[in-house]
Each structure stands twice: as C-alpha cells, then as structure tokens.
C-alpha cells in the first residue's frame, strides 16, 4: 500500500459546500500514477499498456475544502491479464470514500488484453 496527500481546491466544492462527488474519481485516478509507471515508466501515452475496464466509488462521509485528504492505494487482486486497485479517501481521521478500479494489461495494436508477466505480477502483489 502507498499513500498520497491531496489538498482540495476551492473549485472542487459544489453548491452544498463539500467536495463534488465527481472529484473523488479523478483524485483516485491521479493517485494510480505509481502503478501506471510499472507499465509505462515515462507515462508516454504512445506507449500506454493499460485500460480501465470498470471503476466504482462508494461514499461514506462528506469531504471538505480546507483540510488535506489522504488517498490510500493498494492492489487487491491480480489475475492473468487484469488487476484490481483499491483506494480509500481519508480526511481528519475519517474514512470518507472507497473505490475499486479494474485495470487490464492491453495491447492497443492487437486490440486485446495481454497476459501479465510473472515480473509484473510480483511488482503488483508487492503493493
């Protein structure tokens, strides 16, 4: 597992005074960069080898502007060509949101999934 801290921006709030629910999915994606680098170290889109097959976000409590948010990220499942990334958002010691993203190792030229190597599986399982 690894952790990153987000400082919510004023423009991420909504009319109800809390962080808009669409923002959390973007935060989660941004905090997956270390995983993306396992597949594409320089994050060059022309060399990209992952696709997002599915994601879900569950909200447990409101998130607010003015206080940092800790995003916790880990790999919760590794398959033959896909893996699940689980994430949580915490603010002021409170678990505010959870999410899971299903990522697929993908060959864009062949337009199909590609098997994860044993080396990639080991790196993913280490997280």
- Which CATH number is 117's domain given? 3.10.129.10
**117: Cβ contacts below 8 Å, ≥ 6 apart:** none
Please tell me the distance from the alpha carbon of residue 73 to that of residue 87, in angstroms, as a whole number.
Answer: 5
Q: Which domain holds residue 117?
A: 2-125
Summarize the confidence of residues 108-127 as an average pLDDT: 94
Q: How far apart are CA 10 and CA 72, in angstroms?
A: 22
Q: How confident is residue 101, by pLDDT bands cut at 50, 70 and 90?
A: very high
Q: Is the pTM of this model over 0.95?
A: no
For 23-62, the pLDDT digits (tens) are 999 999 999 999 999 999 999 999 999 999 999 999 999 9
Q: Which residues contact 43 (CB under 8 A, 6 or more apart)?
A: 33, 36, 37
The total domain count for the chain is: 1
Confidence of residue 17 (pLDDT cuts 50, 70, 90): confident
Asked if pLDDT for residue 104 goes beyond 90, the answer is: yes
Task: Say if residues 74 and 127 touch (Cβ distance below 8 Å).
Answer: yes
**Band of the pLDDT at 15, cuts 50, 70, 90?**
confident
């Amino acid at each position: 597992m690894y952790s990153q801290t987000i400082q919510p921006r004023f423009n991420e709030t909504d009319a109800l005074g809390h962080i808009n629910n669409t923002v959390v999915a973007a935060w989660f994606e941004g905090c997956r960069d270390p995983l993306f680098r396992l597949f594409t170290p320089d994050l060059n889109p022309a060399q990209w080898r992952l696709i997002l097959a599915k994601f879900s976000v569950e909200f447990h409590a409101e998130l607010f502007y003015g206080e940092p948010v800790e995003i916790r990220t880990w790999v919760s499942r590794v398959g033959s060509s896909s893996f699940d990334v689980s994430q949580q958002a915490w603010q002021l010691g409170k678990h505010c949101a959870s999410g899971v993203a299903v990522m697929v190792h993908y060959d864009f030229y062949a337009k199909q999934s590609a098997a994860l190597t044993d080396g990639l599986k080991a790196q993913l399982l280490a997280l």
